[in-house]
Amino acid sequence: MASEIDVIRQRKVAEIIKNAGSRNSPDGWPAEPVTLTDHTFDEFVGKYPKVVVDCWAPWCGPCRMLSPTIDAIAKDTKGKIAFGKVNTDDNLQVSSKFKVMSIPTLLFFKDGQLVNKMVGAAPRSVVEQFLRKSFA
């Protein structure tokens, strides 16, 4: 029974991700970070040429400090960079695959490949430096 629930959940999350882009903008790019899971991660990263994934947890103070910065940058770069968020407590496969040992960790993907990683909370100017370096 649990596997049937997982299949339904996976289908529903995939549908939400698909519809999120169309609701947020006519060109299909999300205007805010999309919540990702172990099951939806690869599809999201492969869908956009430039992706930043915020690995976080609800109990993490620095993660909560970084979140408004990520939200603002996602809004400002809509159509150029897609942002996602992965709760590392609930999605151990992503955390393990990318060796996320500390949070917050930002993962930078270009054309589906990990090109950079930033660990720790930082001001917007530092995050933007990583964006330029990662996507140059």
Q: Which residues are catalytic?
A: 60, 63
Q: What's the CA gap between 71 and 65, in Å, rounded? A: 11
Q: Are strands 113-119 and 82-87 parallel, antiparallel or unpaired?
A: unpaired
Q: What's the CA gap between 78 and 27, in Å, rounded? A: 10
Q: What's the CA gap between 16 and 69, in Å, rounded? A: 24
| Contact predicate 136/110, CB 8 Å | no
Q: What's the CA gap between 51 and 36, in Å, rounded? A: 12
| Contact predicate 13/5, CB 8 Å | no
